[in-house]
Amino acid sequence: MTEAGASAREWPLWEVFVRARRGLSHGHVGSLHAPDAAMALRNARDLYTRRQEGVSIWVVPAEAISASSPDEKDAFFDPAADKVYRHPTFYSVPDGVEHL
């Protein structure tokens, strides 16, 4: 057994985002542990792109992500619920009018 200290501490968690191909945005694919960003990128390549699933990878320390709370989901997203006039289907268009 090794002595306690920095080495006994668990490596930090990183969230991994992969761009599947040019023209698409990076999407979240999972997470992994690594001691630093360079190792996180290498590990992400080996773990999430073994079959050419990506052309670009982002790794983000999990602790750097702030997320909305599921408990406040309703209050947080409600303001958008009663604004149907933000959608084009809200508006009526006379028959025969095109390109609108």
Partner 1 sequence: MYGNHSGTPEQVSSHDAYADDGDADFLALIQADGRVEPRDAMPNAYRASLVRQIAQHAHSEIIGMQPEGNWISRAPSLKRKAILMAKVQDEAGHGLYLYAAAETLGVDRSELLDKLHTGRHKYSSIFNYPTLTWADMGTIGWLVDGAAIVNQVPITRCSYGPYARAMVRICKEESFHQRQGFEILHTLSNGSPAQHAMAQDAVDRWWWPSLMMFGPPDDASPNSERSMRWGIKRFSNDELRQRFVDMTVPQAQALGLTLPDPELAYDDTTGHWRTGAIDFTELFEVIAGNGPCNAARMAHRRGAHERGQWVRDAAAAYADKHRSATATGAVA
Q: Which residues lie near partner 1 (CB under 8 A)?
A: 2, 6-7, 9-11, 13, 15, 28, 30-36, 39, 46-47, 50-51, 60, 62-63, 65, 67, 69-71
The smaller minimum CB distance to partner 1, of residues 30 and 56, is found at 30
The candidate with the shortest Cα–Cα distance to 12, out of 60, 68, 66, is: 60
CB of 77 to partner 1, least distance (A): 15
- Pairwise CA distance, residues 59 & 11, whole Å: 14
CB-side neighbour CA atoms (13 Å) of 41: 6
The smaller minimum CB distance to partner 1, of residues 64 and 93, is found at 64
Structure tokens given for 23: 């023209």
The smaller minimum CB distance to partner 1, of residues 55 and 100, is found at 55
The candidate with the shortest Cα–Cα distance to 16, out of 35, 43, 36, 55, is: 43
CB of 88 to partner 1, least distance (A): 29
